[in-house]
Amino acid sequence: MSETTSFVLNGARVTSHANSDTSLALVLRNELGDKSPRIGCMLEQCGSCRVLVDDEPVFACTADLETVAGKRVETAAAIDSPVVQALLDGNAAQCGYCLAGIAVSAEALFRSHRAVGTRPARSDIVQALDAHLCRCGSQARILRLLEDVEDAS
Amino acid sequence: MTPAELPVMLRVTASLDRWLEFSDGRVIAHSGRVELGQGLRTAMAILVAEQLEVSIDRVTVPDPTTASAPIEGVTAGSMSMEIGGAALRQAAAWARRLLIQRAAARLGRRVSDLVVRNGEFMIGGEPTGVDYWQVAGDGFDFDIVEPTAERQSDEYPERLRRVDLEERLRGGAFVQDAAADLHARVVRPPSIFHRLVECEATLAEPGRLIRRESFIAVAHPDESAAIELAAHVAARCQWRRLQPFSSAFPDDSVDNALAIVDGALTESKALNVETEMTASYSRPFLLHGSIGPSAAAACFVDGRLTIETASQGIGLLPGVIGRALEIDAGSIHVEYVPGSGCYGHNGADDAAFDAALIAVACPGEKVLLKWSRQDEHRFEPNGSMMRLGMGATVRNGRITAWSHEVASYTHVARPSPGAEGIDLIGAWFAGVGEASTPVPRFAAETDMHRNAVPLYTFDEAAVSAKLWADPPVRTSALRGLGAQGNVFAIESFMDEIAHANQLDSIVLRRRHLDNDLRAIEVMDAAIELAGGLDGARGFGIARYKNRQSIAAVVAEVEVDEETAAVSVRHLWIAAYAGRVIDHDGLIHQLEGGAVQAVSWCLKEAVSIDEGGVVGEDWEGYPILTFSETPIVDVMLIDDRDAPPLGAGEVTVGPTSAAIGNAVFAAAGIRVRDLPMTPEALRRAASA
Within-domain flag for B132: yes
CA B8, CA B1: separation in Å to the nearest integer? Answer: 18
> Do B181 and B117 share a domain, yes or no?
no
**Final residue in a domain of this structure, among B339, B364, B379:** B379
Q: What is the pLDDT of residue B323?
A: 97
Query: Quick check: B44 pLDDT over 70?
Result: yes
**C-alpha closest to that of B191 among B648, B610, B545:** B610
Count CB neighbours of A83 within 10 A: 23
Average pLDDT over residues B507-516: 93
pLDDT in tens, B211-258: 999 999 999 999 999 999 999 999 999 999 998 888 777 877 777 899
Global confidence as pTM: 0.97
| 3-state SS string for B357-385 | HHHHHCCCCCEEEECCHHHHHHHCCEECC
Average pLDDT over residues B420-438: 97
The answer, for A133 touching chain B at a CB cutoff of 8 Å, is: yes
Within-domain flag for B44: yes
Query: Quick check: B92 pLDDT over 90?
Result: yes
Please state, for a pLDDT cut of 70, what percent of chain B lies above it. 100
Beta bridge partner(s), residue B264: B261, B444
Average pLDDT over residues B35-46: 92
Within-domain flag for B474: no
pLDDT in tens, B105-158: 999 999 999 999 999 999 999 999 999 999 999 999 999 999 999 998 877 776
Q: What is the pLDDT of residue B272?
A: 83
Are B593 and A46 within 8 A, CB to CB?
Answer: no
**C-alpha closest to that of B627 among A94, A134, A60:** A134
Closest residue of chain B to A78, computed from CA coordinates: B170
Q: What is the pLDDT of residue A2?
A: 56
**A5-77 belongs to CATH 3.10.20.30:** yes
CA B555, CA B553: separation in Å to the nearest integer? Answer: 6
Within-domain flag for B495: yes
Task: Tell me the domain boundaries of chain A.
Answer: 5-77, 79-147
Within-domain flag for B190: yes
Q: Which residues of chain B neighbour A41 with C-beta distances below 8 Å?
A: 373, 617-618
pLDDT in tens, A72-93: 999 999 999 999 999 999 999 9
Beta bridge partner(s), residue B467: B408
How many domains would you assign to chain B? 3
Q: B397, B501 in Cβ contact below 8 A?
A: yes
The answer, for B159 touching chain A at a CB cutoff of 8 Å, is: yes
Query: Quick check: B78 pLDDT over 90?
Result: no
| Across B26-30, B46-50, B157-161, least confident range | B157-161
> Do B209 and B99 share a domain, yes or no?
no
Within-domain flag for B271: no
Beta bridge partner(s), residue B194: B241
pLDDT in tens, A16-46: 999 999 999 999 999 999 999 999 999 999 9
Average pLDDT, chain A: 96
| 3-state SS string for B587-599 | HHHHHHHHHHHHH
Q: What is the pLDDT of residue B554?
A: 99
Query: Quick check: A152 pLDDT over 80?
Result: no
Are A96 and B173 within 8 A, CB to CB?
Answer: yes
**Final residue in a domain of this structure, among B331, B355, B379:** B379
Looking at the complex, report in whole angstroms how far the Cα of residue B621 sits from the nearest Cα belonging to chain A: 11
Average pLDDT over residues B275-291: 97
CA A110, CA A114: separation in Å to the nearest integer? Answer: 6
Q: What is the pLDDT of residue B288?
A: 98
Average pLDDT, chain B: 96
Within-domain flag for B118: yes
* CATH code, domain with B492: 3.30.365.10
Looking at A68-152, list the stretches that DSSP marks H as alpha helix, in order from N- to C-terminal side.
82-89, 99-116, 122-129, 139-147
> Do B594 and B550 share a domain, yes or no?
yes
Looking at the complex, report in whole angstroms how far the Cα of residue A153 sits from the nearest Cα belonging to chain B: 23
**Final residue in a domain of this structure, among B341, B362, B379:** B379
Domain spanning A79-147, CATH class? mainly alpha
Q: What is the pLDDT of residue A153?
A: 47
Q: What single string gives the DSSP state of each residue in B77-141?
A: TT-IIIIIIHHHHHHHHHHHHHHHHHHHHHHT--GGGEEEETTEEEETTEEEEEEHHHHHTT---
For chain B, positions 336-365, list CB contacts with chain A under 8 A.
Answer: 338-343
> Do B161 and B192 share a domain, yes or no?
no
Burial call B407-421: b when 16+ CB within 10 Å, e when fewer: bbbbbbbbbbeebeb
CA A101, CA B339: separation in Å to the nearest integer? Answer: 16
In sequence order, the 6+-apart residues with CB closer than 8 A to the CB of B476 are B344, B345, B381, B382, B410, B411, B412, B413, B414, B423
Please state, for a pLDDT cut of 90, what percent of chain A lies above it. 95
pLDDT in tens, B329-356: 999 999 999 999 999 999 999 999 999 9
> Do B163 and B183 share a domain, yes or no?
no
> Do B116 and B231 share a domain, yes or no?
no
Within-domain flag for B622: yes
Cα angle, residue B188 at apex, residues B185 and B193 outer, rounded to 5°: 155
Are B174 and A35 within 8 A, CB to CB?
Answer: yes
Q: What is the pLDDT of residue A151?
A: 61
Count CB neighbours of B370 within 10 A: 26
For chain B, positions 471-490, list CB contacts with chain A under 8 A.
Answer: none
**C-alpha closest to that of B405 among B452, B369, B366:** B452
> Do B191 and B310 share a domain, yes or no?
yes
pLDDT in tens, B601-611: 999 999 999 99
Which domain, by its residues, includes B683?
A: 482-687
CA A10, CA B601: separation in Å to the nearest integer? Answer: 41
Query: Quick check: B629 pLDDT over 70?
Result: yes
State ipTM. 0.97
Q: What is the pLDDT of residue B687?
A: 84
Are B341 and A29 within 8 A, CB to CB?
Answer: no
The answer, for A44 touching chain B at a CB cutoff of 8 Å, is: no
Q: B36, B579 in Cβ contact below 8 A?
A: no
> Do B314 and B194 share a domain, yes or no?
yes
